[in-house]
Amino acid sequence: MELTAAEPKDKEKLVGYAFYEIYRDGEKIQAGYGVEAICDKSACTVKVWRGLDALCGEQLGGDEYGCGGYFCGAHIYGAPEGQLGQRCFLCRDNGTDPLASSPDAMVVTFGPDGAPVGAAHRS
């Protein structure tokens, strides 16, 4: 699927950060909340707008906190406490996928009645 930046009908009336160009990984890209793109998570095909709400990190183009990619709501998370912005699934947890299986993860299965399956019940 090939996407191009949306061209507003009257650019002179636009204000703010709808369309601009930045450098990310040495490549010039169009960004802004008026620029349509696909989520930067591989294999994800969800449409995003390259606004600050989809940006990983605190600075455009990437910084020490994030990669500068643009992600859909399913692949971007709030920044750790005390930091600004949002993080993609890799930058949030320093390169580990939080959705991957972990040997120390707690898994609970719920039955149709909403009660945990296989759990000991206290009376």
pLDDT of 78 reads 87
pTM of the model: 0.63
pLDDT of 97 reads 57
The angle at the Cα of 93, spanning 91 to 95, to the nearest 5 degrees, equals 60
104 conformational bin, left if phi > 0, alpha if psi -120 to 50, beta if neither: alpha
pLDDT of 65 reads 84
Q: How confident is the model at residue 7 (pLDDT cuts 50, 70, 90)?
A: low
pLDDT digits (tens, 9 = 90+) for 87-111: 998 888 765 555 565 666 666 778 8
pLDDT digits (tens, 9 = 90+) for 46-80: 999 999 899 998 888 888 888 999 999 999 988 87
Contact 18, 32 (CB under 8 A): yes
Encoding tokens for residue 118? Answer: 């296989």
pLDDT digits (tens, 9 = 90+) for 10-20: 555 555 778 88
Q: How confident is the model at residue 37 (pLDDT cuts 50, 70, 90)?
A: very high
Write down the mean pLDDT value for the chain. 78
pLDDT of 102 reads 60
Domain boundaries, the chain: 1-123
